[in-house]
Structure 1
């Protein structure tokens, strides 16, 4: 859309390291830098990039967009750390408006540079600014005690590919997210009947066509790794012990005082605590007076999707590229749901109305919760390295970059909290 409006775009690619941006800036006359975040994890990389650019004295205008981005993230975490202009662009047309303003400003700086776009005009609730004090750990009300399930094994396990039937995995695809967030088919004031007709005549046929294309080209090459590890919480820390340590978890075993076992921890996750009541940290959902169990997972649809997407992009088939890419992302999320279902079955914590089969789909209607690093309750990406150390997905071609981005792109890791009161929240 920018190119069609007369702007020259230098595309440095997907999941590009900041150094590649800087290499272009050194050799070309750049008027703006654009970064787009489809996944929440990539918005954290945006922030990291801006911090590095600020430390280098760079003030080139920056355009930020993508499905995972929000105005509050731009206002609270991006604009304060970067001295150059930042535009929050909700769609490609906002990018055109932003570039037009930058063009006018470059021709005549006296006109000023207004960075406010449609997303900035949405009123935000005002809150009284107060000093927030998080109480001592001993004064924070913990979640209720629950039965700690016993896993069928310790360490990791790889689900066989013949267990990951493509049609079965597609049943777990969140079509609402795919159609609205990735493909852009939002109702947006459209009459119900008209939107239903759009879904039936255009969207669902496109869904079936893309499915058939994935099968025809053999793009779906799934990997699903999951495992169980003994843990113990200590305030904001979750101590992770070697898999051989936890063979005796039951109601009466492994109740040694925390001080006696803390030195045996192999890894430690540290979670931030909420600044408002109930001042929750993810570690609170695990026992601290005895050992508990932490399920982990890593899934990927394989690297063939990325190869096909590059082919579509090179051929200027941008709409098809977007549809295939979105489908691949949601397939990775579907695989994560399948892994979570397997974990619930293993731990015997499936809800009463769940069937005892991977084909029985339950989206967001189950006890416990699944979290990925980069999301609000655990925003730091670096602990992803620990999941990689434990599950060893590199053996299946899944790698982690220096900025903790997973390759292939349509891959994700997660930690599962079995506690029935676990929920999603912001720090």
Structure 2
């Protein structure tokens, strides 16, 4: 299993490095679900829970016991050898086996639900991280484009200054703007590196592994308002962490029944053969404990406490699901509105303003300060548009997680 995972990881790394197979968002999710070490640990817990259930389902959990004894018997001058052989089997007659099966079955369901819940969370994290990397790549491209324009502007202003057509004040302002653009490239590069590192960690890739991403940030399309209450109800029935909490309560209640039944004796039924003074003796045996002192008081108390805790956790989980869905819906709608604000003529108008301002500056109608201010506004608008689309993608991923779905949420439009 480990060899297969390592081979798959190596193949992904080589493919990404060679650029042969760019990484899409859904392929990134699939890789993370296959290679994430936390999922591997939860899967191991689920296998252990299934093994405990198989043990509980055994018709007889205790092995048969056999004993033998032999020794001489003396009576005057007569000497004989007595022999005794006994076999017994402990059996559960008061529902202990059924209660134990109920406990382990519910615990198996808990472990499998926790695994499913973590898969949902990981899928959401990967999609959000993927969107941040896409946004970081676009932002660094914008920053480099802006730096090129800023440097060209510095050279142009410096030439005008040499010709006596402008002032040192404008030259200094242009140089400051060039420095701001250079710093923006450095900041964008750092954010890109951080976003890539986060995505590599989720994918289980080695540090520094090159990743070539394919895909685009979501478009902000105006859609009908989401049915928040309908989504809440769907989440209450689909969220695997809530399923796990409910199955934990079922396991606790079954443990209470098991603790009560374990206070009852489990008799051992068997037979015994002995030979005394040449006579063969065959006896049936029945052995059981008398529940006088130990009636499993501790086990029953622990089980009752587990039920109380599980009930509180189910109630808390239901409140959390309702709140998370409502918050995710609100975040998605807000992100969609913010992204839509830049759609249509907003960005085109900002770009047109830069063109008009540049012509006005060349004609001497405005100064470099006004030109730089208009240019900075256009750059900020493009940057904020990318950030708004990234927030929209993260909000969609968060709503999918809040709904308990591994699949991406497409309800935003």
Q: Same fold (TM over 0.5)?
A: no
Report the TM-score when normalising by structure 2: 0.21
Q: Which has the higher helix share?
A: 2
User: Bigger radius of gyration, 1 or 2?
Assistant: 2
